[in-house]
Structure 1
Amino acid sequence: MAGTTESEQPLEADVWSDDDVDSGIASLASSSDSITSSILRSREENGRTYHAFKDGRYVLPNDESENERLDLQHTLCLLTFDGRLFTCPAGRDQPIRRVLDAGTGTGIWAMDFADEYPNAQVIGVDLSAIQPPFVPPNISFYVDDLEDPWTFSTKFDFIYGRMLIGSLRDWPLFIKQSYDNLNSGGWLELADVLLELQSDDNSVPADSPARKWGDLMLQAADKFGAPLDSCKKYKQQLADAGFVDIVETIYKWPTSGWPKDKKYKEMGLWTYEDLGQGASGLSLRLFTRALGWTKEEVEVFLVDPKKSGKPSLANLNHDIILLVIDHVHDTYPESLNKLTLVCSDLYFTARHVQYRRIQINMVRYKEADRLGPIVRNGLAPAIRSSHVKARVDHNDSTRFIYSGKRDGQELGLANWEQLENALPAMTGLRDLHLGPHYHFSSCA
């Protein structure tokens, strides 16, 4: 499992005042399509509308104000990731045919992806039907609960989840279902915000209105059953599910335009509007249901963070945690150039030079449960051929049955040494080592 990368050093503050916000945003904002006013399957609560399907599962509203905030947040994410819709190498070595946008929201990411990849089938799933009616022809939206059993008929090459905090209670279940519904060599990318407001230079006291609001949000979300700091556990949960080569990168989101750096100043302006526009929607359901506050108490409390709290956002930031996860080892040769599998004292490693020339299916291992999903998936499930197959003997985890054809000729390999000699010519694999030698039998 790869390490965690802090994308930037502590940010340096610029001379900053809140008077700069409106003019800054005005110069940075671009026009966006209006969100449909027809909100399907919704219910009203405290003057806001929420999804009716699986009522109460999600903490945020689904009305027009919230949808506009989500689209604003999409712009902020694009700025964070330098204009990229995703950061993993999905599509680099094999085409992206099916994509799942988990928790699609307004569908803005899914629609951008569908436009950029017109040959991919894109599916967006959300609890609310708030997506526009006119979308690219290669996209479909469904109202569903991602914590229910997934019933997709075909697996995905890429699953994307962004800003899912507060929407899921059972993250290990979501991660497991993502793993089970990815094709071999597929990718999962998660990007979530850690709602713990921080000050790089300790210039904002812990009892400031903005930081107090952040602490109450975390407390309320825990009681609600949908923690807002769940992304701190993603990395280990992904490893536990069998994902490999997990890359975690932490980006800073300044909460106003205080950084000197031009890019981070721009990000801060967008974050400022994101939090300012979303504070009521973020707080109402959590504070009323989990903390027992009234709507009026929430509104009075938010006056302080909105008024005196806006200046206190200077020199504050919070992290956005991005995890890029490979489903198997053999899809990214630039960095994942070795495939390693250990089963008892069986060892196999090969450097990939060519792809999709051989498939070795491991049907059953004595130690499969202990060794986990990587073993059960086989040695090289993304290197496919209908002509070359191998399987493990059901009674002996060290005995393989191998058969295949090369140029129309039957292959009968009696031992590991013969297989070691034959595989490079058949597959293009180099630096190949198999050992120790175990008995092979032909099953042509």
Structure 2
Amino acid sequence: MAGSEAEEPTPAQAQPFIEPDNAETADEDEGIFDERVSTYTASLSSSVIDYPTEHGRRYHAFRSGKYIMPNDDRELVRLDLLHVVMVRTVEDKLHHAPIDPDRTHSVLDIGTGTGVWAMEFGDEYPGSERESTCPRKRLQPHTTGMGSPNVKFEVDDVESEWTFPDPFDFIFCRYMAGSIADWPNLVKNVHDHLNPGGWAEFQDYDMQYRTDDDSLTDEHSTSKWLKVILGAANKVGRNPSPGPKLATWARDAGFENVTEKVFKMPIGPWPKDPYLKETGLINAAQVVDGLEGFSMRLLCGVEGWSETEVQVLLAQVRKELKGKAFHSYVNFHVVYGQKAAAPATAPATADEEPEA
């Protein structure tokens, strides 16, 4: 929550205080922000195909209307920026589950987006085969001549019946906030489609903006925007903050050795630490560029706002996010667990007759 109303973190969520950098003034920050962001976005591009458009953005053709986010070039670039942010946030690791490379041959990436995680995982583990499926269908790398030979992309809906012919050794599910209606069922499906002893990992958000110094208040436009956008997502049954519940859902689904790690993800270039400053800059860039995508369908379609009303609010939010009006972050949850190993089969004794 904004400012002093933020809930106290649980022990699993406890993270060190991030020291803000007060060397630059807020008036200078917006120009600095735009100049720095161009460094990260200049080389990111994708092809365009025909999809339905609403509010000037392109949305999903596959089961159109079910998912709130767009599916256009701007969104593809944003997702690649977000991949950078998420990997940097979780200690520059593609995963935290202690998978055994020698026993990890079939991997499923749920909600693969642009496919960047699957391709990087394929490069790191060339002996495995990945099948990536995304309910929010976007342009996958194989449509543009990119991708690893051991990665296959499919269009599917993870909330429909799973029809994979064989179980997997590792299932990875990241950034499905706002996309899933029945999280416990999804986590149970993941568990049931693992080989005995296989691992699953979930990485997702608590989308509530937080500060450690009460610099974000209810008077900020960002707080007002966040309150209405999270409320609208909950109204349509798409949990925008699944992160804090992932560990409980995993245990309820039958996972063993469940481990939870929570990382602070800064929003904006306000941290003093250079690495966190750069992470926060990239993160703010993808948030600023995604504001329309986050907001239009929910505020216009669910809350009944006009496009003009939405754009006025978003202009105020952009200005705040580009500067150092507050020192905000979100908690990013990493949860992994293991399916129980198959029970050992006792060897036949001399007195037992083999079956015919």
**What is the Cα deviation at residue 277 of structure 1?**
0.8
- With 294-303 and 157-166 compared, the bigger mean Cα shift is at 294-303
Which residue number corresponds to residue 38 of structure 1?
Answer: 49
2:153: which partner in 1?
141
Question: Is 1:59 equivalent to 2:68 in the alignment?
Answer: yes
Distance 2:54 2:321 in 1: 26
Q: Do the aligned partners of 2:172 and 2:201 also contact (CA within 8 Å) in 1?
A: yes
Aligned pairs for 1:247-396 (under 5 A) are 247-308=259-320, 310-311=322-323, 313-328=325-340, 378-380=342-344, 389-390=345-346
1:443 shift after superposition: 5.5
Query: Separation in 2 of the partners of 1:69 and 1:308?
Result: 19
Q: Report the counterpart of residue 117 of structure 2 in structure 1.
A: 109
CA RMSD across the alignment: 2.1
Kept after mapping to 1: 8 A contact 2:115/2:140:
yes
Shift of 1:7: 6.3
Q: Which has the higher helix share?
A: 2
Match 1:79 to one of 83, 88, 103: 88
TM-score (norm 1): 0.71
Using the TM superposition, give the Cα deviation of residue 129 of structure 1 relative to its aligned residue in structure 2, in angstroms: 4.1
- Structure 2 CA distance for partners of 1:33 and 1:306, relative to 1, 3 Å: closer
- Give the TM-score normalised by the residue count of structure 2: 0.88
* Contact 2:209–2:328 (8 Å) recurs in 1: yes
Q: Which moved more, 1:106-115 or 1:157-166?
A: 106-115
CA contact 2:191–2:339 (8 Å) conserved in 1: yes
Deviates more, 1:229-238 or 1:18-27: 18-27
Distance 2:63 2:275 in 1: 40
Structure 2: 5+ residue stretches without partners: 1-9
Paired residue secondary structure (1:299) = helix
Is 1:121 equivalent to 2:129 in the alignment? Answer: yes
Change (3 A) 1:310 1:160: same
Equivalent in the alignment of 1:340:
none
Pairwise CA distance, 1:196: 0.3
- After superposition, the Cα gap between the structure-2 partners of 1:207 and 1:194, relative to the gap in structure 1 and judged at 3 Å, is same
Match of 1:12 among 1, 13, 19: 19
Structure 1, gaps ≥5 residues long: 331-377, 381-388, 391-402, 405-409, 413-441
Q: Tell me the CA shift for residue 217 of structure 1.
A: 1.4
2:149 match: secondary structure: coil
- The alpha-carbon distance between structure 1 residues 31 and 307, as it changes in their structure 2 partners (threshold 3 A), is closer
Cα offset, 1:260, TM superposition: 1.2
> 2:200·2:338 contact (CA, 8 Å) conserved in 1?
yes
Of 123, 140, 144, the residue aligned with 1:131 is 140
Greater share of strand: 1
Aligned to 2:100: 91
Q: Supply the distance in 2 between the matched residues of 1:301 and 1:443 (Cα, whole angstroms).
A: 78
Letter in 1 for 2:120: D
Which stretches of structure 1, 4 residues or longer, exceed 6 Å deviation after superposition? none
AA aligned to 1:58 is: Y
Q: Name the CA shift for 1:115/1:308 in 2 (closer, same or farther; >3 Å).
A: closer
- Aligned-residue offset at 1:229: 1.5
> d(CA) in 1 for partners of 2:96 and 2:325?
29
| Distance in 2 of aligned mates of 1:180 and 1:83 | 29
The reply on whether 1:208 has 2:217 as its aligned counterpart is no
Question: Which structure 2 residues correspond to residues 140-179 of structure 1 after superposition, within 5 A?
Answer: 140-179=152-191
Change (3 A) 1:4 1:54: farther
